[in-house]
Amino acid sequence: MNKDQVKGTVKDIAGKTQRKVGEATGNTSQQIKGTVKQGEGKLQKGAGDVEDALRDTSSTSKRR
């Protein structure tokens, strides 16, 4: 797991929490901010996943 995967997961969880708090309090602004943060986290984690896949592929091809 690389730093983008970790940071992305943390942002996703923080966003989900913020969205749920917004839902519970009826604060639409917090719901939207939480949803955006969640999306950012998913994108960052996805970038980390791609980075890992590329690293795995390059290390596999070097062994051949």
Provide the whole-model pTM: 0.85
Per-residue pLDDT of the chain (64 residues; tens, 9 = 90+): 899 999 999 999 999 999 999 999 999 999 999 999 999 999 999 999 999 999 888 877 766 5
DSSP-assigned letters across all residues of 1-64: --HHHHHHHHHHHHHHHHHHHHHHHT-HHHHHHHHHHHHHHHHHHHHHHHHHHHHHHHHHHHH-
Contact between 7 and 13 under an 8 Å Cβ cutoff? The reply is: no
Asked if 13 and 41 touch (Cβ cutoff 8 Å), the reply is: yes
Say if CB 11 and CB 38 are below 8 A apart: yes
